[in-house]
Every structure is written in C-alpha cells, then in structure tokens.
Amino acid sequence: MKIAVTGMGLIGGSLALALRRAGYYVVGKNRSPEPLFYAISHGVIDEASGDVSDCDVVFVALPPKAAADYICTASFKEGAVVADICGVKRYIEEQVLSRRPGIKYVGTHPMAGKEVSGVENACADLFDRASMVLTYNIYTDKSAYALIKKLVKDMGFLRLVECSAEVHDKKIAYTSQLAHVVSSCYVKDGQIEGCLGFTGGSFQDMTRIAGVDENVWTELYLLNSDNLCGNIRTLANHLNEVADAIGEGRPEHLRAILREGREQFEDRKNNSFQGDDVRTTLLK
C-alpha cells in the first residue's frame, strides 16, 4: 500500500514516521521544498513527490481552508481514500460533500502535538499515548472508514474516538480551543514579568500553550465560532461569579461555588471519554 502525506509539518511528518514504522511506503508532498528535503534526507518519508495520483491513501495535513481546497481539486487515484487531520471537521465535511461528493473522504483529528512546529520536530512515537478522532456521516464509505481505522491502530494510537463532525467541533471547542484562548489571555496583563521562582505546575499548565501560531488558530477559532463563543461567555460568567464572591467578602458563597466545581469535576471525570454520540475504543 502506498500512502501519501500532503503537508510536511510537525503532524504530517509524525504521521509519515508512524506509518513508516508500521511498514508502509510513504510519499511526502509539500508546497515549499525545504521541509521535503529535510523529510527525505532524515528518513521521514520514502519519496518526495508533487504527484499523489498513484497513492492508495492520502493524508492531508494542511490548515482547514487549504485542506478543503486541496481535497476538492487534487488528482487522486480512482478509489483512493482521502483523510484530513484538521482541528475542525464541519467545515471540511461541508466543503467535500458540496464540491466533491463522490470522493472516499474520512475526517480525522490526531489529539497530539508539541509547543514547537516543523518537520524537524516530528517523531514516530508522537501518537503512542494519544487519541485519534474519526468523524463520519451517512455518506461515509464503509470500506474507506475501515481502512483508516486500521491505519490508526497501526500508527500506534492509544485510543480511537468516533463521532459526527458536529459532535467533534462541539467537544474540541471546549477541550482544546477554549484552553488555548484562556492561556493566551492569562499572560497578557503584564504580571508574567518577573515571575521566576514564583511558578509551579499550575502556572506551567496555564501558560504552556500561550505561544500559539495566531495564523493557524485564528482560522480554527473562526470556523468553530458558534461553539467557541458560547464556551468563552460561559467561562466569563463563572469567573465573574467567583470575583464577585471574593470582592464582596462572602466566604459561604465562595465555598459553595468552589464546591460545585469540585463535585462536578469528580462526578464526571471518570466518564469523560463516553457519551451518547461518541464511541471510544482502547487500541492497546
């Protein structure tokens, strides 16, 4: 089986390495030549090519709008399976269904990453402890979907999560995008200066993802604005409630607010991977 990865960045390169580790022949494609040169010279891919029309599977590791345009216009082998890895799924699915409905498309989203980017930071084991989300709809080709599920397992993912594009975007707005927004806002008041020696794990957790690529994340936020804006406003209301309780010196009210948060977390944390619209499978 010949597999192509279009987009030789951190995730694309790591996909290629994981696939090669599993024994697959991997072709790499990228708009600029430097990442391709690095990928071929460092064994990230088996072959660099601008043509993926002879590949059986094509993973598209590009930003959402570029990924949708590529999927809807590129030349693929007849019957080839095409999968994007974008952080939003409704937009890609809508574009594919309206512009190229006959293609064997499967939506994927590997839930792994680093604070650094670029193919030079790719690694074969990036996904070994990670989840892979697959999205489907009534038009999803069953054989294509089954093939991607097999590749997910072969690449070493720990957990497979299956849901609709709508459920994916709702969940990811809360678990990923909101966290990036909060981290970005947390560091903007100037108090981060001179904090050496005052920080512990909580500070590191809050600020680890503050250095986001604004070009990448602006597109993701805007394409999931309905879900993300709702989450931001809900969080702002809860923060204001805490601020009011502290500012007004109301210890019983503050304790009640904090207790509610603790109890909700403890009640739900053990069931955080299940839901009526989500199917989760451990692969190891």
Give yes or no for a contact between 75 and 49, defined as CB atoms under 8 angstroms apart: no
Q: Where in the chain is the domain with CATH 3.40.50.720?
A: 2-164
pLDDT in tens, 29-50: 999 999 999 999 999 999 999 9
pLDDT in tens, 197-227: 999 999 999 999 998 889 999 999 999 999 9
Give the global pTM: 0.94
Q: What is the largest CA-CA distance in the chain?
A: 69
| Topology of domain 169-269, CATH | 6-phosphogluconate dehydrogenase C-terminal fold (1.10.3660)
Q: Where in the chain is the domain with CATH 1.10.3660.10?
A: 169-269
DSSP for residue 270: G
Say which CATH superfamily domain 2-164 falls into: NAD(P)-binding Rossmann-like Domain (3.40.50.720)
Those residues whose C-beta lies under 8 Å from the C-beta of residue 282, and which sit 6 or more positions away, are 158, 159
pLDDT in tens, 86-139: 999 999 999 999 999 999 999 999 999 887 889 999 999 999 999 999 999 999
Those residues whose C-beta lies under 8 Å from the C-beta of residue 60, and which sit 6 or more positions away, are 6, 7, 67, 70, 71, 82, 83, 84, 85
Length of the chain: 284
Give yes or no for a contact between 122 and 44, defined as CB atoms under 8 angstroms apart: yes
3-state SS record for 68-134: HHHHHHCCCCCCCEEEECCCCCHHHHHHHHHHCCCCEEEEEEEECCCCCCCHHHCCCCCCCCCEEEE
